[in-house]
């Protein structure tokens, strides 16, 4: 009996031990599979961070989004601090395969309409980001920080400008100092005759667009001080058959360079050799037809390109490695200031379409200047910037081209959309009027020249007339005055253009004084009343609306892109510094939250 009992106890013990071992193994496997797996540095470049396949990478991305929400809205995600190192278990022999992470492919039925392939890991299902991006209109990319890969997700792509101080008419205009109007692909070139951009936005032939010209001036206003000018008085080369001498010019009270060089000759030349600065400026007076050319060594296999500034009215031409800009007759003293980087790239990228062809060519060295014909030269300089010249080129153009009704007619047909009548050439824009006023006010404050202030005062006239009377005014619901960026029939009520028109009126009323600024003040106050009353009409609960065509035409709303949404916020931020009404701050706060995915509450 003792032996039998011993056998039974022995068998029972074996079974108990086996069961204990099995439970231990099962628990060990479960704990191993539940561990967070992350990407080590040495495999980050060869492992695709994919939310479908790597739950750990998705967790890391979520942590980053939460971190980004705390950062200044002025900074882009790529401008943030370096990502922390990523560590975790990896199978070095498995071709980048994560240990213990199991997933399977699963069909995902979208809205009962079509199927896409997803990934399933336990109860979690992952969809391809290429699908998520398009479906939800969100943004993301894999970026590298000091050798580490990380996925960055963003609900929007545009940033809000930080209002640094209360707005003043003599200060910077919003965030325009960060704009670069001349490099836009819809700018054909900077006119050699007028010194301002020529737009191709609505036609490949090119036309002067007052809004673009005003922005060209406003963007350089804050930094309208030329720096690092280098004069080039010597080292002229005069070949046989040409002539050059220093002569006194009584009108300028100084000596200038007189040159005579036949068009068939090499021309008189001045060695320059600058490798850092590419803004050239010179005073010029032609006695006959002639040209001033600048030879550039470029990044295009060190090839030499020549930019010719010719005494005709040709806009721009490009042949082989020669670029031509007409600068007009120049038979009296005038200053020519040109950005050689822009002139080179616009010439090489010249096309017959609306957009300038992209090119990577850049100047490496300003080799020499060449003059041909008969004339005089003075003050040849190379500088880092020429903001003052650009600002006054825009201001002077606005004075010269204002018509007898106080407006700047836009000489191109504009079709805003289906259901609106086309705007025929000669139409005015309240946005153009407002931004032109803002430019002219600043020119007046810099110079105290009343020609600029008088031009700004005349510019209020189109605000007083309805669109059908060749003005820019519309009236919403027979009550609220609105100044139209596009004076369409029916009215369109574009939000951002209206606010720009109000900023111009504010600049004028603050600068002109009580008596001269009376009309601007009245127009401004009526407009601000309308803005405060109508702002809710532009709020979708998740973004903003560009205009009110959905109300006027009974069609789908025209949602504002994120860059227009942030423009709306930037404008309201500015207005909140000059008007104490809480409505502006409330809308700024709510509209900023939409950039991070917030939505209005539902019922």
Q: What is the pLDDT, as a whole number, of residue 233?
A: 59
Q: What is the pLDDT, as a whole number, of residue 204?
A: 84
| pLDDT for 59 beyond 90 | no
Q: CB of 244 within 8 A of CB of 372?
A: no
304 plus 351 within the same structural domain: yes
How close are the terminal C-alpha atoms of the chain, in Å?
80
Position 223 confidence tier, pLDDT thresholds 50, 70, 90? low
Question: Tokens in use for 556?
Answer: 């789908």
Position 355 confidence tier, pLDDT thresholds 50, 70, 90? confident
| pLDDT for 13 beyond 80 | no
Instruction: Quickly tell me which residue has 């601007």 as its tokens.
Output: 520
Averaged pLDDT, 371-398:
95
Question: pLDDT per residue over 26-45, tens digit each?
Answer: 776 665 555 444 444 443 33
Q: Which residues pair with 279 in a beta bridge?
A: 339, 383
433 plus 547 within the same structural domain: yes
Q: pTM for this structure? A: 0.80
Question: Tokens in use for 521?
Answer: 């003040």
Where is 149: in which H helix or E strand? strand 148-154
245 plus 353 within the same structural domain: yes
288 plus 416 within the same structural domain: no
Q: Give the ranges where 177-241 is alpha helix by DSSP (H).
A: 210-221
Position 94 confidence tier, pLDDT thresholds 50, 70, 90? very low
Q: What is the pLDDT, as a whole number, of residue 238?
A: 97
| pLDDT for 71 beyond 60 | no
In a domain, residue 562? The reply is: yes
Question: pLDDT per residue over 147-199, tens digit each?
Answer: 899 999 999 999 998 888 899 999 888 877 667 888 888 999 999 999 999 99
Position 224 confidence tier, pLDDT thresholds 50, 70, 90? low
Question: pLDDT per residue over 297-314, tens digit each?
Answer: 999 999 999 999 999 999
339 plus 406 within the same structural domain: no
Position 146 confidence tier, pLDDT thresholds 50, 70, 90? confident
Q: CB of 412 within 8 A of CB of 198?
A: no
Average pLDDT value over all residues in the chain: 87
Share of residues in the chain with pLDDT > 70 (%): 83
Question: pLDDT per residue over 257-290, tens digit each?
Answer: 999 999 999 999 999 999 899 999 999 999 999 9
Between residues 351 and 449, the one the model is more confident about: 449
Query: Which of 384, 415, 437 delimits the end of a domain?
Result: 384
562 plus 415 within the same structural domain: yes
Q: CB of 422 within 8 A of CB of 487?
A: no
434 plus 537 within the same structural domain: yes
Q: CB of 538 within 8 A of CB of 495?
A: yes
130 plus 58 within the same structural domain: yes
Position 77 confidence tier, pLDDT thresholds 50, 70, 90? very low
Q: What is the pLDDT, as a whole number, of residue 102?
A: 81
Q: What is the pLDDT, as a whole number, of residue 409?
A: 98
Most confident of 93-102, 198-207, 422-431: 422-431
| pLDDT for 58 beyond 90 | no
Q: What is the pLDDT, as a whole number, of residue 80?
A: 38
377 plus 414 within the same structural domain: no
Q: What is the pLDDT, as a whole number, of residue 64?
A: 39
364 plus 394 within the same structural domain: no
Q: What is the pLDDT, as a whole number, of residue 230?
A: 62
In a domain, residue 34? The reply is: no
Share of residues in the chain with pLDDT > 90 (%): 71
In a domain, residue 191? The reply is: no
354 plus 421 within the same structural domain: no
Averaged pLDDT, 505-516:
97
Which residues in 299-439 belong to E strands, given as ranges? Answer: 304-310, 317-319, 322-326, 334-339, 363-383
Averaged pLDDT, 123-139:
96
Nearest to 211 by CA among 388, 407, 385, 470: 407
Instruction: Quickly tell me which residue has 């029916």 as its tokens.
Output: 490
Position 18 confidence tier, pLDDT thresholds 50, 70, 90? confident
* Largest CA-CA distance found in the chain, in angstroms, rounded: 139
* C-alpha–C-alpha distance, residues 457 and 412, integer Å: 25
Question: Tokens in use for 287?
Answer: 């006695």
435 plus 548 within the same structural domain: yes
Nearest to 152 by CA among 86, 88, 76: 76
Q: What is the DSSP string of 303-340?
A: -EEEEEEESS----EEETTEEEEE-----S-EEEEEEH
The residue segments making up the domain with residue 461 are 390-594
Where is 549: in which H helix or E strand? helix 549-553
Position 386 confidence tier, pLDDT thresholds 50, 70, 90? confident
Question: Tokens in use for 103?
Answer: 């997933």
Q: What is the pLDDT, as a whole number, of residue 180?
A: 81
| pLDDT for 62 beyond 70 | no
Query: Which of 369, 384, 399 delimits the end of a domain?
Result: 384
Q: CB of 305 within 8 A of CB of 223?
A: no
């Amino acid at each position: 009996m003792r032996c039998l009992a011993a056998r039974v106890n022995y068998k029972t013990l074996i079974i108990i031990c086996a069961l204990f071992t099995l439970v231990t193994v099962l628990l060990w496997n479960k704990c191993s599979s539940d561990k967070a797996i992350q990407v080590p540095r040495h495999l980050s470049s060869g492992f695709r961070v994919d939310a479908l396949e790597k739950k750990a990478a998705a967790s890391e991305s979520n942590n980053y989004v939460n971190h980004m929400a705390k950062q200044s809205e002025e900074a882009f995600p790529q401008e943030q601090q370096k990502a922390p190192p990523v560590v975790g278990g990896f199978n070095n022999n498995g071709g980048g395969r994560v240990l213990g992470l199991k997933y399977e492919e699963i069909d995902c039925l979208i809205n009962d309409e079509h199927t896409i392939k997803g990934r399933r890991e336990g109860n979690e299902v992952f969809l391809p980001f290429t699908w998520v991006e398009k479906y939800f209109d969100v943004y993301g990319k894999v970026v590298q920080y000091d050798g580490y890969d990380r996925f960055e997700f963003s609900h929007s792509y545009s940033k809000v400008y930080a209002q640094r101080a209360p707005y003043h008419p003599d200060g910077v205009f919003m965030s325009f100092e960060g704009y670069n109007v001349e490099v836009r692909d819809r700018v054909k070139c900077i006119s050699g005759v007028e010194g301002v951009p020529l737009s191709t936005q609505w036609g490949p032939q090119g036309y002067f667009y007052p809004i673009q010209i005003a922005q060209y001036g406003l963007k350089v206003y804050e930094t309208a001080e030329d720096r690092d000018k280098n004069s080039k008085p010597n080292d002229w080369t005069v070949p046989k058959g040409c002539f050059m001498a220093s002569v006194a010019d009584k009108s300028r009270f100084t000596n200038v360079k007189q040159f005579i060089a036949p068009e068939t000759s090499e021309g008189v030349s001045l060695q320059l050799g600058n490798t850092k600065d590419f803004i050239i400026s010179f005073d010029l007076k032609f006695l006959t037809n002639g040209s001033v050319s600048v030879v550039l060594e470029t990044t295009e296999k060190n090839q030499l390109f020549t930019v010719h500034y010719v005494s005709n009215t040709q806009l721009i031409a490009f042949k082989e490695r020669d670029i031509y800009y007409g600068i007009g007759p120049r038979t009296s003293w005038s200053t020519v200031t040109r950005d050689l980087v822009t002139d080179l790239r616009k010439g090489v990228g010249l096309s017959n379409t609306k957009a300038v062809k992209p090119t990577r060519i850049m100047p490496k060295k300003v080799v020499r200047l060449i003059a041909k014909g008969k004339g005089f030269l003075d003050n040849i300089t190379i500088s880092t910037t020429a903001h003052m010249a650009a600002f006054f080129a825009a201001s002077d153009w606005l004075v010269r081209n204002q018509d007898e009704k106080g407006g700047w007619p836009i000489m191109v047909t504009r079709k805003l959309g289906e259901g609106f009548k086309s705007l025929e050439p000669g139409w005015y824009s309240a946005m153009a009027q407002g931004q032109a006023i803002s430019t002219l006010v600043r020119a007046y404050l810099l110079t105290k020249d009343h020609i600029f202030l008088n031009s700004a005062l005349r510019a209020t006239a189109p605000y007083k007339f309805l669109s059908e009377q060749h003005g820019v005014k519309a009236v919403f619901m027979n009550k609220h005055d609105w100044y139209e960026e596009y004076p369409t029939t029916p009215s369109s009520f574009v939000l951002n253009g209206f606010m720009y028109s109000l900023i111009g009126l504010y600049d004028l009323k603050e600068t002109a004084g009580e008596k001269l600024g009376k009309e601007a003040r009245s127009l401004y106050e009526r407009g601000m009343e309308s803005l405060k009353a109508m702002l809710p009409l532009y709020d979708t609960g998740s973004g903003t609306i560009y205009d009110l065509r959905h109300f006027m035409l009974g069609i789908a709303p025209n949602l504002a892109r994120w860059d227009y949404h942030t423009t709306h916020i930037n404008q309201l931020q500015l207005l909140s510094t000059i008007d104490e009404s809480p409505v502006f701050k409330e809308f700024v706060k709510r509209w900023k939250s939409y950039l991070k995915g917030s939505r209005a509450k539902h019922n």
